[in-house]
């Protein structure tokens, strides 16, 4: 992969293993029981080799790094450390996150947060037993509560940043605000710095999708009901001191995800592992890379994006977050005709300090706003 190593480079590492599959999940991952221990070690070694090949070409650390999945907690702590060490060969990234499922976090992980990592992203999804069972989640409520307690303890002991993922827009048996309040109550001594709250989306091919299609489960709320739920959540989290800075993301002041901001600001990043994506910016061209394959073998497909494709990605990503779209880059890097812009700005967006920024209403219609600009 051909990156401009003089520019900041962020790193995403995909760990395609889970303890078991959740019914709603369409990400590529293999249940741990179906894979040999030696295959997980071989995968870890392969990832470390790729990281080290990259660090040899760089004279600075990765800007940000994110170990995601799957569930990186399915690796042993030693295997995770092996990856962390490779990532930090040239120094520690400013933000270094690992995702981890509640059932997998242990006290032993704390040493990784002392030496390498500085952010936990934990998929809680819900503290409502009915919701966990409706979604076909692979973790029990008891395991989830234990994981939250341990994540809070890790933050207290190491000063790392803490983010939880929650799922919402479930049928009316679920009270989304109460669910979030229960999460905050569970975090007694420390509060999460960051929350990602996603609407449950039925993905074709998943057991959850099949259940819905066969009418074997209660239907999801329609789009008006979903908008109502999201508005309630936004008001609740604002009241608790979280800024709504991206369509699905909320943070305490200064605690926005730097890694995800690289995607939204259309920065340079490399993705390793099956299904991972990369964007390389070199000599005025944008090259997209996609990793195909599975845990045992992978290949990389590269595509040089046309100006139009790069512009489309830049606008779609830029309008999703409160920092907004950089109009200087829009004109100079992507050749957009700025005379057309004024008539194409939808309500909910306005120009501030050289950027096109959304308010809360704008965030609800960011895709439509992008299409209008790309018209
Ligand atoms: S733990 Fe996460 S990645 Fe694994 S199956 Fe569940 S939702 Fe998907």
Residue nearest to atom 3 of ligand 1 (CA): 70
Q: What is the mean pLDDT of the chain?
A: 96
CA 252, 258, 263, 266 dihedral sign is positive
Task: Confirm or reject: Cβ of 71 under 6 Å from ligand 1.
Answer: yes
What pTM did the predictor assign?
0.95
Structure tokens at 321: 């977050």
Question: How far, in Å, is the centroid of ligand 1 from the Cα of 111?
Answer: 25
Question: How far, in Å, is the centroid of ligand 1 from the Cα of 350?
Answer: 37
Point out the ligand 1 atom lying closest to the alpha carbon of residue 69: 3
**Is the separation of the CB atoms in 9 and 283 below 8 Å?**
no
Position 360 scores a pLDDT of 86
Whole-number CA gyration radius for the chain: 21
Task: Confirm or reject: Cβ of 123 under 6 Å from ligand 1.
Answer: yes
Domains of the chain: 10-262 (3.80.30.20), 307-375 (1.10.10)
Point out the ligand 1 atom lying closest to the alpha carbon of residue 101: 1
Position 92 scores a pLDDT of 98
Point out the ligand 1 atom lying closest to the alpha carbon of residue 138: 6
Q: How confident is the model at residue 196 (pLDDT cuts 50, 70, 90)?
A: very high
Q: What is the tens place of the pLDDT at every residue in 16-74?
A: 999 999 999 999 999 999 999 999 999 999 999 999 999 999 999 999 999 999 999 99
Position 375 scores a pLDDT of 83
Query: Is residue 302 scored above 90 in pLDDT?
Result: yes
Pocket test for ligand 1, best of 98, 123, 203 (most atoms within 8 A of CB): 123
**How far, CA to CA in Å, does 246 sit from each of 12, 89, 309?**
20, 32, 22
Question: How far, in Å, is the centroid of ligand 1 from the Cα of 301?
Answer: 25
SS3 per-residue string spanning the chain: CCCCCCCCCEEEEEECEECCCCCCCCCCCEEHHHCCHHHHHHHHHHHHHHHHHHHHCCCCCCCEEEEEECCHHHCCHHHHHHHHHHHHHHCCCCEEEEEECCCCCCHHHHHHHHHCCCEEEEEEECCCHHHHHHHCCCCCHHHHHHHHHHHHHHHHHHCCEEEEEEEECCCCCCCHHHHHHHHHHHCCCCCCCEEEEEECCCCCCCHHHHHHHCCCCCCCCCHHHHHHHHHHHHHHHHHCCCEEEECCEEECCCCCCHHHHHHHCCCCEEEECCCCEEEEEECCEEEEEEEEECCCCEEEEEEECCHHHHHHHHHHHHCCECCCEEHHHHHHCCCCCHHHCHHHCCCCEEEECCEEEECHHHHHCHHHHHHHHHC
Position 71 scores a pLDDT of 98
Pocket test for ligand 1, best of 14, 34, 121, 138 (most atoms within 8 A of CB): 138
Task: Confirm or reject: Cβ of 291 under 6 Å from ligand 1.
Answer: no
Q: How confident is the model at residue 364 (pLDDT cuts 50, 70, 90)?
A: confident
Structure tokens at 270: 């490399």
Residue nearest to atom 8 of ligand 1 (CA): 25
Q: What is the tens place of the pLDDT at every residue in 152-189?
A: 999 999 999 999 999 999 999 999 999 999 999 999 89
Closest Cα to residue 101, out of 134, 132, 64? Answer: 132
Task: Confirm or reject: Cβ of 356 under 6 Å from ligand 1.
Answer: no
Question: How far, in Å, is the centroid of ligand 1 from the Cα of 134?
Answer: 15
Question: How far, in Å, is the centroid of ligand 1 from the Cα of 47?
Answer: 20
Position 361 scores a pLDDT of 87
Structure tokens at 274: 């099956």
Q: What is the tens place of the pLDDT at every residue in 60-109?
A: 999 999 999 999 999 999 999 999 999 999 999 999 999 999 999 999 99
């Amino acid at each position: 992969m051909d990156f401009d190593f003089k520019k900041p480079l962020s790193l995403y590492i995909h760990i395609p293993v889970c303890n078991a599959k959740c019914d709603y999940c369409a990400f590529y991952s293999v249940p741990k029981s179906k894979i040999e221990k030696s295959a997980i070690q071989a995968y870890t070694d392969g990832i470390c080799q790729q990281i080290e090949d990259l660090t040899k070409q760089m004279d600075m650390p990765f800007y940000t790094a994110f170990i995601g999945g799957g569930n990186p907690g399915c690796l042993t702590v030693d295997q995770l450390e092996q990856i962390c060490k490779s990532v930090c060969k040239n120094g520690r990234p400013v933000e270094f996150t690992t995702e981890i499922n509640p059932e997998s976090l242990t006290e032993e992980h704390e040493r990784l947060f002392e030496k390498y990592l500085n952010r936990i992203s934990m998929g809680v999804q819900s503290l409502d037993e009915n919701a966990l069972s409706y979604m076909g989640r692979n973790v029990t409520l008891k395991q989830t509560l234990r994981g939250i307690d341990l994540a809070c303890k890790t933050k207290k002991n190491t000063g790392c940043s803490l983010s939880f993922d929650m799922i919402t827009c479930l049928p009316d048996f679920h009270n989304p605000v109460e669910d979030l309040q229960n999460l905050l109550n569970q975090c007694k001594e420390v509060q999460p710095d960051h929350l990602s709250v996603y609407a449950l989306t039925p993905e074709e091919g998943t057991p959850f999708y099949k259940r819905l299609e066969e009418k074997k489960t209660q239907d999801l709320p329609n789009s008006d009901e979903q908008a109502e739920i999201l508005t309630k959540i936004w008001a609740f989290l604002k009241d608790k001191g979280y800024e709504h800075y991206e369509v699905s993301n909320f943070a305490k002041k200064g605690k926005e995800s730097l890694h995800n901001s690289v995607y939204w600001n259309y920065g340079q990043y490399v993705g390793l592992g099956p299904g991972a994506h990369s964007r390389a910016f070199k000599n005025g061209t944008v090259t997209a890379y996609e990793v195909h394959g599975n845990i045992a073998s992978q290949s990389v497909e590269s595509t040089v994006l046309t100006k139009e494709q790069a512009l489309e990605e830049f606008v779609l990503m830029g309008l999703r977050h409160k920092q907004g779209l950089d109009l200087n880059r829009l004109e100079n890097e992507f050749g957009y005709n700025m005379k057309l812009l004024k008539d194409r700005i939808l309500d909910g967006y306005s120009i501030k300090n050289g950027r096109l920024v959304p308010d809360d209403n704008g965030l609800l219609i960011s895709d439509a706003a992008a299409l209008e600009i790309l018209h």
